[in-house]
Amino acid sequence: MLKITWDDKICIHSGNCVKSLPSVFQVKDGKFVIIPDGAPEDQVRKTVNACPSGALKIQG
Ligand code: SF4
């Protein structure tokens, strides 16, 4: 399973990740949560790479 990190100080809250892959990137009770195995790995990588601010990163 991919390990994804999110830096809240870098995130510009564009919402791209939540819109493009809602099974992985979600806002629950006002908090941003990431479910790394919520979609196939290539889709997760694609969405992480499309983050406009660089707040999302895949570790390892
Ligand atoms: S795509 Fe990146 S900048 Fe946009 S909300 Fe998600 S983490 Fe934040």
Tell me, using a 6 A CB cutoff, whether residue 26 lines ligand 1: no
If you measure from the C-alpha of residue 17 to the centroid of ligand 1, how many angstroms do you get, rounded to a whole number?
A: 6
Which H or E element spans position 59?
A: strand 56-59
Residue 8 CA to residue 10 CA, distance in Å, equals 5
DSSP secondary structure of 23-56? TTEEEETTEEEE-TTSS-HHHHHHHHHT-SSS-E
How far is 44 from 29, CA to CA, in rounded Å? Answer: 22
Grade residue 1 by pLDDT with cuts at 50, 70 and 90.
confident
Is the CB of residue 55 below 6 angstroms from any atom belonging to ligand 1? yes
Domain regions of the chain by residue span: 3-35+49-59
Which of 13, 18, 19, 43 maximizes ligand 1 atoms within 8 Å of its Cβ, making it the mutation to test the pocket?
A: 13
pLDDT digits 0-9 by tens, 19-32 = 999 999 999 999 99
Threshold 0.85, pTM exceeds: yes
Q: How far apart are CA 40 and CA 52, in angstroms?
A: 21
pLDDT mean across residues, the chain: 97
